[in-house]
Structure 1
């Protein structure tokens, strides 16, 4: 079966409340392809490798978390950007991208989906007073040492994480997928035992040590693989179309 591109985009925008979330890039349809969608390919980032894989898979629509046209980037369609867009347009493939709307969604969001993968019970927002902080707070059913939890994270995500403070006993956790290392101070203020995100900055080590919080950087890409899959599954069920997730490995 197939659904009109306009209908699918309208539903995705509505479901994610995309129009009401301020972001660093346009959310929704970024490149318009053929008017009917029968096969969706999802992935984390609309890299050339993922675009090529979507072409090989005969996708009508490519749905990603990291799309194009970020604030502050050079707007000229040259080089890498030209090659990516040329490939999409040549093969009449639409590009649909959701950044922050896909991080914060309570059902298919990256943060909620990562919690489900790691068996963390969600309790609420990392910083309820500041909606710009998109991380969450939660807890493990049973406490474990930070070293053991890091091993579990590595097993689930298929990537050895960076760990600071290996011996701390962990039950209460704060997390934000992707590049959320800047929220470690909010996590410490919320009283967590451990803060987990995708990346680390030089100062993150000192914040963790001096605030008495264990810290895990599990990979930007690795922590953000699950939201886009869940959204793709939702749209596939909603419109009875095909959905294929393609993971283009990224060690960062």
Structure 2
């Protein structure tokens, strides 16, 4: 049955507590389409190939983690931005985007889902004092060689991971934050983690890992952030009786 667009947006905003985050972009409804929603297409980023695929699938709403209108970007609606917005407007599709709120949700979030898929238990916020905490820390059921964890992660994501550390050493206490969270490695060290996992690495990340004695994995920004938007799309489909399809537009970064 069709659901009212605003009802769906209000429910999702409240579910993810979108209003409590000071984010780099607006969270929630970014582009308004038709007033009734039956078919949802989800993806990591609102890139042109995803929007084109959503249009071909007859989507009423596109649900993403990386949407539009980022802080500091140029404001004129020209070039790539015009083409993307044009696709949404031409096909009367709404764009619903959640950045940090989708990272942080304790059940449907990118971090929660990745941790669960890796078998990490007792997930807690990495920064207990932050109301916008998006990183997590938890423990594997038993110590595991770092090489085995890397292999498990590569099998899950379908891509090679960058590992800094001794592959033969065992790890159990794992800190992680999906996407581009390499700067959180210091928090992982302070929390006593054996290993820190994120999507990307910076030049200094390697030195910090080596000198602080913490294992480090960069498994891909896109690859580590596939799971939250899928879980959210499935949740909304079950809650409102919607059709949902996840479309993966691969990105090697």
Give the match's secondary structure for 2:193: coil
CA distance in structure 1 between the partners assigned to 2:93 and 2:130 by the alignment: 37
1:171-190 aligned at under 5 Å gives the runs 171-190=172-191
Aligned to 2:155: 155
Contact conserved, 1:122 with 1:136, CA < 8 A, in 2?
no
Aligned to 2:70: 70
- Following TM superposition, by how much is the alpha carbon of 1:132 offset from its aligned partner in structure 2, in angstroms? 4.3
Aligned to 1:113: 113
Q: How many residues in Structure 1 have an aligned counterpart in Structure 2?
A: 252
**Which digits, 9 at most, give the CA deviation of each residue in 1:57-94, with x for residues without a partner?**
11000000000000000011011000000011000000
CA distance in structure 1 between the partners assigned to 2:131 and 2:11 by the alignment: 24
Q: Classify 1:19/1:133 alpha carbon distance in 2 versus 1 (closer, same or farther; 3 Å).
A: closer
Q: Name which of structure 1's ranges 160-169 and 192-201 shifts more when overlaid on structure 2.
A: 160-169
Q: Name which of structure 1's ranges 117-126 and 19-28 shifts more when overlaid on structure 2.
A: 117-126
Aligned to 2:43: 43
User: RMSD of the TM alignment (CA)?
Assistant: 0.9
CA distance in structure 2 between the partners assigned to 1:246 and 1:192 by the alignment: 34
CA distance in structure 2 between the partners assigned to 1:123 and 1:230 by the alignment: 17
Residue 240 (structure 1) aligned with residue 230 (structure 2): no
- Following TM superposition, by how much is the alpha carbon of 1:115 offset from its aligned partner in structure 2, in angstroms? 0.7
Residue 24 (structure 1) aligned with residue 17 (structure 2): no
Aligned to 1:56: 56
Q: Classify 1:187/1:115 alpha carbon distance in 2 versus 1 (closer, same or farther; 3 Å).
A: same
Give the match's secondary structure for 1:141: strand
Contact conserved, 2:111 with 2:135, CA < 8 A, in 1?
yes
TM-score (norm 2): 0.98
- Following TM superposition, by how much is the alpha carbon of 1:167 offset from its aligned partner in structure 2, in angstroms? 2.7
- Following TM superposition, by how much is the alpha carbon of 1:107 offset from its aligned partner in structure 2, in angstroms? 1.2
Residue 215 (structure 1) aligned with residue 224 (structure 2): no
Aligned to 2:251: 250
CA distance in structure 1 between the partners assigned to 2:210 and 2:170 by the alignment: 14
Contact conserved, 1:102 with 1:109, CA < 8 A, in 2?
yes
Aligned to 1:199: 200
Contact conserved, 2:39 with 2:242, CA < 8 A, in 1?
yes
Q: Which runs of 5+ in 1 are unaligned?
A: none
**Which digits, 9 at most, give the CA deviation of each residue in 1:175-200, with x for residues without a partner?**
00000100001101111110000000
- Following TM superposition, by how much is the alpha carbon of 1:134 offset from its aligned partner in structure 2, in angstroms? 1.6
After the TM superposition, list the runs of 4 or more consecutive aligned residues in structure 1 that deviate by more than 6 angstroms.
none
Q: Classify 1:10/1:130 alpha carbon distance in 2 versus 1 (closer, same or farther; 3 Å).
A: closer
Contact conserved, 2:21 with 2:132, CA < 8 A, in 1?
no
